[in-house]
Structure 1
């Protein structure tokens, strides 16, 4: 089971922060470091969509990012499941026969990935700006943003030998496809700008979007006093730790980054309190 120090997820349609404890079955007095999970909302007004976190980094450590060979092997093993069809996709399970459902990579699959990358999993610095930047004084027509081909995705998928999902989506409809900024950044004529206009929103609008708004009167709650929850084992196997609201309130003697915000239980408690106060004044 993955037990990272941080687990960050953006554009999750809702804000949520939590501390996830990890029990050490072999030594109950020395549990693993908890995972600090943070998901961010959509980039819209009155949403928690941005936070700045500081991490302690060794001065001599390399600042290059690297691919995870296990993740690369899983991408190759699950490539047949990649589809852009609007119909339901059949997913294999342990109840199916003669079909792989456990995609944990084998030694042979890991070796193949090692051969493809020659043992160097450093992420190349080949970024190219595809979406257009904000134009001061430009027309704000609130139209749907365009979709762009991404050379990074193309190169990555070609090297790994998997389907290019970005290219597959671009091939669905040319009317929603924009000219990448790095190609046309030197052109500033009206003709270039008009060529970026989105003409058929329905081609890329699956009508599955939804909005979870929050009470604008509530102020963000920082975790200055939020501590790692006391963990109690409710399962004989020791694999399913649990904690209560009281545990979160009492806390332990562990420190946590102030940049992370509290779990939804605290926000819910404040909202319910506000509702009760409003009823009492009516």
Structure 2
């Protein structure tokens, strides 16, 4: 049985909308329409009892991109839903984007690096794609959230294929898909860890399995160096203040435990808000809070507009999937390295902070223009397609689960080694400069001001408690 989704196809995001920042009304019928309002000129396709709504505006654009909220390892159901849509509506989806909590779990050993309560530890279906038993039917790009197999994603810190046709954008990254530039930031914001380096190493303990997915200033700083336009940006948690630009009253009616944070403007990520203001992408997608929420950010009176959409987790009755048309050059399309991002990676890798200490940004001495030309010449010689996928751990075997598992400690991923060799950079991800006692500290700095800590530490657990308490009236139906 196919999962319930609310799906919209339309030619341009924000077409005809006039929303502004606080104090100005947004035309919600024209931008990310609410699921209970069927737009004009729409089709209904009944699936057993739920339905899909398809926006029939101007089907003249060529690239169809599906965006999914929290995957939670349920790749099979998402892919099957998209394949059904293609069949019923005689269309072709070109790309799937996932906004975190992807859960790229290869085997039972990886579950030890997954920060979830034991009752939620499940192999799900990613391992089938990792093992080659299934092939992703669409190029898939994902970022990390706060429930990931971080031991595996750390191998791919700079980005790379987590499985054939499934690309991890890295802890921070930008890639090209056709003529689109897609950027993203993995993890969630916690002020106590923000200025720390990446000090966590597998195997993780009860503290570092959580702190490893906290956003770091170093990664945000690299994204702040991006000057060329980014078309789509992904973050797991929402930019701070984004609720001012949308129907926050409807949000708190649906999620009443958000009201205090919304009113006090503490709900969301400050670094994500800084990136939103700097990059001003036309599209910004998030997840994490397990609800659908739309907003329209006007950057200055005559500036560009960012259309924001947060989506739910992949479960029946949840609004977890959106498909949209975006202007594009003719295909075929493929994921490629981005020249500017490789230049930024090469310039800032010498100050990669791999201990508790924060990065010394004054230590960047490589000339930007010289580095850019160097990267350009390298890409012209080799091509921009990412290095090939390579398995680094055994895949799950349902008939012999006891023997499943990665080897102890850290594994070097050949993709990452190849990329660093290509950029003529040293491999640093297994560096253990500080003692394990210090590097596994639960709090990188005991005297750090934590006044900006987001109160919602784990939205998944919070929602589970609410549901168990009988708070079902706030759930999707």
TM score, norm. by length of structure 2: 0.29
Determine which structure has the larger strand proportion and give its number: 2
TM score, norm. by length of structure 1: 0.45
